[in-house]
Amino acid sequence: MRTERGSFVADHVVLACSLATVRRMTITPSMPVPLHAAVHGLGYGTITKTSVQWPHRQWPPGYATTAGRAQRVYEPTMDQPGESGILMAYCGGDGGHQWATMPEPERIALAAAEMTAMHGLALQPLGGYSRAWGAEPRFGGSYAVYEPGQVTAFWQPLREAWGRVHLAGEHVATCTGYMEGALESGETVATRIVAAG
């Protein structure tokens, strides 16, 4: 196995990363057709999260939704002391995809404008931070989203060892898209490797 940091000889290889990364690997011999189709075809979510910090909390407690592009807005600092607070826009689907194409400052300005309109804020934001997983080369999306037809076509090939190469991560868990699934997949692969001796 050759990486940017050197060459390694190993009994097994565990690819515990998003399929977006696996798609860029040069793998010889070629993967079996069903596995190749699954690795390259599996859907990924488009969540973009944009947080904006405000000097005062001029909004009611709770979760808010809007027909605007911010989609879902909540306060992750709800339980924290202090005068300032943060509102978070959690944006997915086509909206998340669209926000991922924008530069970060533009996303923050857009989210701040929508939060201002939603809650009637008479404040200037202190700052913000936005992350679009769909635009991150190491992630390629927020988490696996099996699209129609992909459970029957891709589920099994992604969960079987290919010789001594194993996939791990939330995308091959029993319950995909969650931390628990990522850990479960690691245990599954470790058990498989130990059993192989």
Ligand X SMILES: Cc1cc2nc3c(=O)[nH]c(=O)nc-3n(C[C@H](O)[C@H](O)[C@H](O)COP(=O)(O)OP(=O)(O)OC[C@H]3O[C@@H](n4cnc5c(N)ncnc54)[C@H](O)[C@@H]3O)c2cc1C
The residues of the shown chain that bind ligand X, judged by CB under 6 A, are 16-18, 21, 47, 49, 133, 138-139, 142-143, 169-170, 177-179, 182
Task: Kindly state the smallest distance separating residue 193's Cβ from ligand X, in Å.
Answer: 17
Nearer to ligand X, 40 or 138 (CB): 138
Nearer to ligand X, 78 or 117 (CB): 78
Residue listed under structure tokens 């000097």: 55
Nearer to ligand X, 35 or 91 (CB): 91
Task: Kindly state the smallest distance separating residue 89's Cβ from ligand X, in Å.
Answer: 11
Nearer to ligand X, 9 or 175 (CB): 175
Residue 176 has a CB neighbour count (10 Å cut-off) of: 20
What DSSP assignment string belongs to 13-27?
EEE-S-HHHHTTS--
* Residue pair 159/6 in contact by the 8 Å Cβ criterion: no
Q: Which residue is nearest to ligand X (CB)?
A: 169
168: left (phi over 0), alpha (psi -120 to 50) or beta: beta
